[in-house]
Amino acid sequence: DVKVTQSSRYLVKRTGEKVFLECVQDMDHENMFWYRQDPGLGLRLIYFSYDVKMKEKGDIPEGYSVSREKKERFSLILESASTNQTSMYLCASSLEGDENTEAFFGQGTRLTVV
Amino acid sequence: TQLLEQSPQFLSIQEGENLTVYCNSSSVFSSLQWYRQEPGEGPVLLVTVVTGGEVKKLKRLTFQFGDARKDSSLHITAAQPGDTGLYLCAGHNFGNEKLTFGTGTRLTIIP
């Protein structure tokens, strides 16, 4: 079974803190993604990576950065957390490929910034 | 940025009823996927449709891709409580590794 594991289910952080969200996949997928999920807005892409040390901005990268030093691990970093970053964060991975490529998701991290 | 709008946003119906959920865009996609997300979990892929006009069936679920590849629908026959969840459509363009997700439909089936 493909497994995408996010390091925390729930996190509570203070405004201004630096926050790290970690994601690990065990299927040797080239692509990894970070989304945030808010009611009525669906999933919005923050950043994605198609190879080690490679990254591309998604639709809402402001306030976030990412790191991919190893193929299996993709980290999302909030340099200085703000209350408007309170959200559900979902990590996903997929094989490089065609239009049938499936995205596999982690269970999500619910981040609250107070 | 390509957008996918889903309707309705919320739907609550009795067990045994039929329903249809829509996913619409002004943009053309190479393929369209449907995912279901249950509480506390990440989305899981249900189906991928690739050809304009394509219809795929998954037990009581019927998925259709519009002829122009800009829209899709999901029809559920005789809904059951196990169908409860958040349904998300996602569009994909050939040569682009990213998926564009829809706004989601939260479905509740009342026993």
**What's the mean pLDDT in A15-33?**
95
| Shortest CA distance from B51: residue in chain A | A99
d(CA A43, CA B88): 9
For residue A46, how far is the Cα from the chain centroid?
A: 7
Task: Please check whether residue A50 is in contact with residue B97, taking contact to mean a CB–CB distance below 8 angstroms.
Answer: yes
pLDDT tens for B51-71 read 999 999 999 999 999 999 999
**What's the mean pLDDT in B59-86?**
96
Percentage of chain A exceeding pLDDT 90: 87
Q: What pLDDT is attached to residue B1?
A: 62
Closest partner residue to B1 (CB to CB) among A59, A102, A105 is A59
Token pair belonging to A80: 């200085």
Closest partner residue to A107 (CB to CB) among B33, B41, B104 is B41
Task: Please check whether residue B34 is in contact with residue B43, taking contact to mean a CB–CB distance below 8 angstroms.
Answer: no
Nearest-CA distance B75 → chain A (Å): 20
User: Which chain B residues are closer than 8 Å to A59 by Cβ?
Assistant: 1
Residues 6+ apart with CB under 8 A from A49: A31, A32, A33, A55, A56, A66, A68, A74
| Partner-chain contact B101 A100, CB within 8 Å | no
Residue A107 half-sphere exposure toward CB, CA atoms < 13 A: 9
> Which residue would you say has higher pLDDT here, A46 or A101?
A46
